[in-house]
Structure 1
């Protein structure tokens, strides 16, 4: 794709995003200094590190705003690698003319969320660019935390027979953004944007915990496709087992979206060893964020290898592939 222009589809979190990231990282990989492709990197000394940018539109949405989203996104990247959300850095790129009170409001939201999970702001940077340089405000966060698991969580740990768990109903963040964007009123629909650390911390000592991933851009479907392709195994899902609330289902029906690919900001996919799933689900459900936690499928060694299949409500079966193109730009 050397001469191809970058499009909004490359920001979808799906197949085009994976291709763009691979292309951009080539200079690092050929020197042997490329990153691991997980939500956060494990670095020497028993720490995890992550960085993430946020350009959601609208900046304030049902269930949160860009400040809350920035903290949750960074903290969740650490949490799914089994690391505590300890320290945060925030960078702001602000368009000239942006209201100071609005910017301060987003920082207040970020500070409130940090306070709730014991995360400290350790560093930051602010830039102001001329009108048109950015659309309003872009926030970037980086975060560091200490690993709390007995062994490193990674998709490379996936094995035949493992159970796949989802912590809550899927697609709520993407649906809330879409409703706001299209001026649709959906009673009770809010983003699931929330820090996952309080819910995930109690399960980190479980020896059967293989890997976790928060289902952000590209949703649950993309996460599981990435796992299947990385492991070469087959992930089989049961459609009826996947929690999906009525508001998200209705909005997806109206707009023609597949909820499997709708963004989440407070939902994680978890792979666990056979025999551990029941205990982990029980512990997850003790958190108010994860009352809908459930097993939705298994990891298999059979065909089609490296792919995800979904047994539908009517008894059929279809493949779940990474989405191509952009369902909804500037989602996070």
Structure 2
């Protein structure tokens, strides 16, 4: 009879490990690269590659709009897409705690498989370890990914005065949804994470032309990424407060929790700096792509406050958006 909970035997490399692979992982993730179950995957790729890795310790592991499995795919796929790459292959590392429900693991792997299939990537190699009860938090995941670089040259060094700053949708959805779910304050579906793959949105923006740099504003949010764009330069990333799209539910939640949406994590948004001549075309391309319906131009690159990210308020005042000095939202991804 199949165990209902993960045991130390599942990480031993013996019969239980084989059962876990053959009955749970392979049926969900089946592809020709994974099927041989070798020590690694032999891949045929063309041209320059982008390589990224990400680890996931989110709490709770199931949250409105997603779960740790979906997040593990989106996190690495999105990092590759921000490099101007077409994501192709993923690895999957799992650290399971003794006593973790097998039913929850099945749910997570099913979600992970569905998400990877939806963005055209294959999980081609992996590893599973089991730690003793009390030495983990149920499940931790790691994914590493390879993508073929199609749009090279994206870099903050390419940013110029006059460039436009674009966001692909509303900000702060993931961070506030997870924090409310963790606290037990979230009821119903009034606020969900934006967790989604960004490869299609990135491709749409890059195909329109003139994109200087892309980032997905995860931990630290939009404000942190804006600082990374201009720190150590003579440029200023200036954002108009009333141009930033924020859901009313997020504004309310942030007021309740004492948070700023510009510092809250996103898991399904891209931030772009774009040549002013092509910015309207990029914005239109985002609007035509699923997930980009609320895309907006939120500011521009100036020289008014060198090396700073600045928010121009609705009253005309300027507020410096400093980098976070600590963790506003721990274990958010």
TM over 0.5: yes
The yes-or-no answer on 1:211 pairing with 2:213 is yes
2:38 corresponds to: none
Q: Give me the whole-angstrom Cα distance separating, in 2, the residues matched to 1:171 and 1:206.
A: 26
Q: Which residue of 1 aligns with 2:154?
A: 153
Q: In 2, Cα distance between the equivalents of 1:63 and 1:249?
A: 18
Q: Given that residues 284 and 291 in structure 1 are in contact (C-alpha distance below 8 angstroms), is that contact kept between their aligned partners in structure 2? A: yes
Structure 2 vs 1, CA of residues 113 and 230 (structure 1 numbering), >3 Å: closer, same or farther?
Answer: farther
The 3 A distance-change label for structure 1 pair 242 and 330 is same
Separation in structure 2 between the aligned mates of residue 162 and residue 85 of structure 1, nearest angstrom: 27
Query: Partners in 1 of 2:295 and 2:237 — Cα distance?
Result: 18
Q: How many residue pairs end up in the alignment?
A: 288
Matched, 1:270 2:272: yes
CA-CA distance at 1:230 after TM superposition:
5.1
| Other-structure match for 1:28 | none
Aligned with residue 191 of structure 1, among 169, 188, 193: 193
Correspondences of 1:162-177 after superposition (within 5 Å): 162-177=163-178
What is the CA-CA distance between 1:314 and the residue it aligns to?
2.0
Q: 56, 59, 78: which one pairs with 1:57?
A: 59
User: 1 CA distance for matches of 2:209 and 2:199?
Assistant: 18
Which of structures 1 and 2 has the bigger CA Rg?
A: 2
Q: Offset at 1:193?
A: 0.2
1-side partners of 2:143 and 2:236: how far apart? 34
Q: Which residue of 2 aligns with 1:328?
A: 329
Residue 20 of structure 1 is matched in structure 2 by none
SS in structure 2 of the partner of residue 107 of structure 1: helix
Contact kept? 1:95, 1:134, Cα under 8 Å: yes
Q: Secondary structure at the match of 2:146?
A: strand
The equivalent residue for 2:15 is none
Q: CA deviation at 1:131?
A: 1.7
Residues 203-247 of structure 1, C-alpha deviations (whole Å, 9 max, x = no match): 323441100000100011111111111544211110000000101
Structure 1 unmatched runs, 5+: 1-42
Contact (CA 8 Å) 1:89, 1:122: kept in 2 or not?
A: yes
User: SS of the counterpart of 1:85?
Assistant: strand
Worse-superposed segment, 253-262 or 230-239: 230-239
Report the Cα distance in structure 2 between the residues aligned to 1:70 and 1:109, rounded to whole angstroms: 10
Whether the 8 Å contact between 1:192 and 1:267 is mirrored in structure 2 is: yes
Residue 313 of structure 1 deviates from its aligned partner by 1.5
Q: Out of 276, 288, 291, which is 1:289 matched to?
A: 291
Secondary structure in structure 2 of the residue aligned to 1:224: helix
Instruction: Give the TM-score taking structure 2 as reference length.
Output: 0.84
Contact 1:166 1:268 in 2 (8 A): yes
User: Equivalences for 1:10-21 in 2 at 5 Å?
Assistant: none
User: Which SS does the other structure have where 1:86 is aligned?
Assistant: strand
Counterparts of 2:74 and 2:159 in 1: how far apart (Å)? 26
Distance of aligned partners of 1:222 and 1:200 in 2 relative to their CA distance in 1, 3 Å threshold: same
Does the 8 A contact of 2:47 with 2:149 survive in 1?
no
- SS of the residue corresponding to residue 84 of structure 1 reads strand
Q: Secondary structure at the match of 1:195?
A: coil
How much is the aligned-residue C-alpha RMSD, in angstroms? 1.5
Tell me which residue corresponds to 2:100: 98
Asked whether the 8 Å contact 2:205–2:283 carries over to 1, the reply is: no
How do 1:1-332 and structure 2 match up within 5 A? Answer: 45-149=47-151, 151-185=152-186, 187-229=189-231, 231-300=233-302, 302-332=303-333
**Contact 2:167 2:270 (C-alpha < 8 Å) held by counterparts:** yes
Q: 8 Å contact 2:208–2:281 — kept in the other structure?
A: no
- 2:4 corresponds to: none
Taking structure 1 as the reference length, the TM-score comes to 0.84
Measure the CA separation in 2 of the matches of 1:314 and 1:233: 23
